[in-house]
Amino acid sequence: MCGIAGYIGSEKISEGFLSNTLKLMRNRGPDNQNFKKFNLKNLNIYLLHSRLKIIDLGNGANQPFTIGDYTLIYNGEIYNYIEIRNYLKKKGIKFKTKSDSEVLLRSYIHFGKDSFNKFEGMWSFAIWDNRKKELILSRDRFGEKPLYIFKSSNGLFFGSEIKFIKSLSKVSFDLNSNQISRYLIQGYKSLHKSEETFFKRIKHFPKRSFLVIKKSLNLNFKNYWSLKYKPKKIELEDVVSKTKELLINSMKLRLRSDVPIAFSLSGGIDSNSLISISNRKFRSKIKAYSILDADKDYNEKKFIELSKKELNLDLDFIKVETKDSLERLENLINYHDQPIATSNFLFHSMISEKANNDGYKILISGIGSDEIFTGYYDHTIQYLYETRKDKEFDENLKSWKRYILRDIKNPIFRNPNLYINNPKYREHLFDHSDFLIKFLKSKKRKYLLKNDEEINYSKSLLRNRMLNELFHEGVPPCLNNEDMNCMYYSVENRSPFLDRKLSEFIYSVPNKLLMQQGYTKYILRKSMEGIVNDKILKNRVKTGFNVSINSFINFDSKSFQENFLNKNNQIFEFIDRKKIKNLIKNKKNRKKYSKFLFNFINTNIFLKNFS
């Protein structure tokens, strides 16, 4: 894990600006910072890199890394670098280091753009080809590693963080009212529906894409991979067996490291699958961290203790406390260059901090499992829609009523015929947005997204929703926040469920096999039998890795009134002050609309510090 930044264009950037940018990059790479520049006629190229040593701890793997006419700066990990290196060695290619960085660059030299599909990993990188005089940018399939771009009138700036682009370009960027309005009312699921950020003119580099930039500076993004639902005839027994094999192999690859690894652990099946595989198949002693909230709705200690005892984990519980929470939140917002997606990432940062203090440089988490294996309650009624014509439908409905209905709190999802009657229903996408819109000033409402704005990936309702969640709604903001939290403390984050072979296989499995006997993630549960504790496998209640806002915000305090409800705050250019004051007075509303209130607090801080 590292940080990258750079520029290609006609401008010349002074070494002072380069030096200042490298200082900002230190969190992402405290072990080494350096840059390299290329000056051609009317074209200047600057490549900046900061390194966090994970694989091959020697200085020979420092970047920018040059082989002949090719120079690389790279953030991420190519997990299958050993297999690729062995292949290239058989082709007569000799290696100077044991790093995945050298494997990446030599792969590009050997395979060209076909190399992107040979990589299993997470990355954002830039390669300068001094022979062809072109710059190649690429980002991984799921967008695990961030990459931002800014096209100016005479060049392209790019970087792992927005602050790097600001520093290199010395441009003062206006705030993006579109993104602010959407975040306030529609929440984190609206943030990655496009490539926009909270700053005008700064964009996300598209995931699973690459870009070749020549002297003309034209931006023509090309996809090198796609994930599609292509069901094949396959028996459940074979699906379970193959899933087990692929997930174990994914963990094997993601445990490759020359530095210590730790896990984020909740009481759910996702993180327990990963930590149990690691313990039973690869390592005997494992370090784990868990958030412990006093709010019973979010406390999973019972199931976490099961894993601790059974796997003999070295486990630390991190308790949620109100002390210094707002100070932590402000520091994170300043580092993220944007509001935090959800309150759980405020406390996820405590895990990153503790891991760093304990000497761990890698944190593994279960992001992506819900979107691959069907983990949400709305998936259960979308599944009923998909199987409505199957002979098993009556049994599926019976199981749903017996095992799932009792745990669904959202009244919308308690209707098993919701999608059968209206397959286009999407009103649930942005929680309470139909109510919350009245809090937004009328002139800002034009920026909000329509509920039915989704990409058409598949004719299958269930798979199309899951793919939109995977690539736009749920996974991208989680990956972005987890990356920034970890990098704030110089820790690398890894997500084993976001594996190419695993995802492609599960998206070849017929819908009817995804749920059985009233279990979500049925395939994952069956594949983990004998590996994960049976009580965890059979727990049907989805709790999630969450923290109640009332655990760290005192809405009645004088400090809150002065800091967040001050009439001069810029937030009230967006939000009706009187209406939100009335909302906060009602204590029941504080829990019901806790996500909105967290967004309100976040945006308050963001506007104060970035306006």
93-131: per-residue pLDDT in tens? 999 999 999 999 999 999 999 999 999 999 999 999 999
Token pair recorded at residue 334: 């300043």
130 vs 320, higher pLDDT? 130
Count other Cβ atoms within 10 Å, centred on residue 36.
Answer: 17
Q: Domains plus CATH for the chain?
A: 2-223 (3.60.20.10), 553-610 (no CATH)
- Confidence category of residue 540, pLDDT binned at 50, 70, 90: confident
Edge-to-edge, what's the strand order for the sheet holding 65-67? Answer: 65-67, 70-78, 121-129, 134-139, 209-213, 222-223
Token pair recorded at residue 609: 């510090």
Long-range contact list for 386-394, CB < 8 A, 24+ apart? 386/460, 386/461, 386/462, 386/511, 386/512, 387/511, 387/512, 388/420, 390/512, 392/512
pTM assigned to the model: 0.96
Query: What DSSP letter does each residue of 297-334 carry, written as one string?
Result: TT--HHHHHHHHHHHT-EEEEEE--STTHHHHHHHHHH
Give residue 235's region: left, alpha or beta (phi > 0; psi -120 to 50). Answer: beta
Would you say residue 257 has pLDDT above 80?
A: yes
**What does the pLDDT read at residue 301?**
85
Would you say residue 298 has pLDDT above 80?
A: no
Would you say residue 56 has pLDDT above 80?
A: yes
pLDDT digits (tens, 9 = 90+) for 131-185: 999 999 999 999 999 999 999 999 999 999 999 999 999 999 999 999 999 999 9
Q: What is the mean pLDDT of residues 4-20?
A: 96
Alpha-carbon distances of 149 from 209, 282, 485, 502, 607, rounded to whole Å = 13, 39, 21, 30, 22
**What does the pLDDT read at residue 302?**
87
For residue 299, the number of C-alpha atoms closer than 13 Å in the C-beta half-sphere is 11
- Which of 504, 497, 498, 520 minimizes the C-alpha distance to 382? 520
**What does the pLDDT read at residue 290?**
92
**What does the pLDDT read at residue 455?**
95
For residue 588, the number of C-alpha atoms closer than 13 Å in the C-beta half-sphere is 0
Would you say residue 322 has pLDDT above 90?
A: no
- Which of 26, 45, 33 minimizes the C-alpha distance to 158? 45
How far apart CA 362 and CA 323 sit, in angstroms, is 27
How far apart CA 161 and CA 282 sit, in angstroms, is 34
**What does the pLDDT read at residue 551?**
73
Q: What is the mean pLDDT of the chain?
A: 94
Pairing, β 222-223 against β 209-213: antiparallel
Would you say residue 376 has pLDDT above 70?
A: yes
Distance of CA 431 to the CA centre of its chain: 20
Would you say residue 369 has pLDDT above 90?
A: yes
Token pair recorded at residue 283: 């390592």
Token pair recorded at residue 385: 């829609």
Would you say residue 80 has pLDDT above 80?
A: yes
The answer to which of 15-19, 343-347, 400-404 has the lowest mean pLDDT is 343-347
pLDDT digits (tens, 9 = 90+) for 483-518: 999 999 999 999 999 999 999 999 999 999 999 999
State phi, psi for 289 to the nearest 5 degrees: -130, 140
Burial 142-158 (b: 16+ CB within 10 A, else e): bbbbbbbbbebeebbbb
- Confidence category of residue 554, pLDDT binned at 50, 70, 90: confident
Alpha-carbon distances of 523 from 23, 241, 404, 520, 553, rounded to whole Å = 47, 9, 17, 8, 39
- Which of 171, 210, 178, 208 minimizes the C-alpha distance to 194? 178
**What does the pLDDT read at residue 30?**
97
